[in-house]
Amino acid sequence: MADLKTSIASNIKDKDLINVRRQELVNAAVELFVQKGFHKTTVREIAREFGMSMGTLYDYIRTKEDILFLVCDHISKSVSDKLQSSLTGKKDPDENLRNAIRDYFTIIDEIEDYTLLLYQETKSLNKKERKYVLHAENDLVAIFEDIITQGIREKVFNINKETVRLLAHNIMVEGQMWAFRRWALRKDFTLKQYIRLQTDLIMKALR
């Protein structure tokens, strides 16, 4: 899917400078969005946190919704990049899947507030931007789907091919649940315990 960030209008011609300033803008905005919510955060507050005037800020974006899209895209790509980097090297499917589950759940723990922000505010994006962000999430599902499919081919996993995608989605939801229901789960489990128990349940479904 084409990178929608390039379609956000800017008065600046230097593409490298645009990317640098927009990343700085994301860093300034994301904490405000987490603390106050997207709708209660003003562009003036973002500009103040950004350390630039309103006029300068509008050289790089046009609307507050542009900033939200950049924030959502940043969060999605951060998760994907970290997970992909953890899967380098050839391993057997069983080990690959266990490592991917562990690393994904750990990433969610590290950015739990951002995870909540992403799912609470994606609805505020326009249809095209929302589709782009959801497509990025499907790319994450595909990582788990590919590992499970490899395991089926190598006869490590015993599961119907029709069920593979559903199980991949389940892994995503179980990781996100650590952020969504942290108020309850952390009374009973550490992250390490949660990862172990959920991994055991997932692996049992593959046997």
pLDDT digits (tens, 9 = 90+) for 43-77: 999 999 888 898 888 988 888 898 888 888 888 88
- Structure tokens of 78? 């951060």
- All residue ranges of the chain with pLDDT < 50 are 2
**Alpha-helical runs (H) found in the chain:** 15-36, 43-50, 54-57, 64-85, 93-110, 112-121, 127-153, 161-180, 182-185, 191-205
CATH number of the domain within which 174 lies: 1.10.357.10
Reported pTM? 0.84
Report helix, strand or coil for 135.
Answer: helix
Please give the pLDDT value at position 173: 95
By residue range, what is the domain housing residue 169?
4-205
Report helix, strand or coil for 190.
Answer: coil
| Number of compact structural domains in the chain | 1
* Nearest by Cα to 194 from 204, 206, 182: 182
Please give the pLDDT value at position 90: 66
Q: Which residue type does 173 have?
A: V
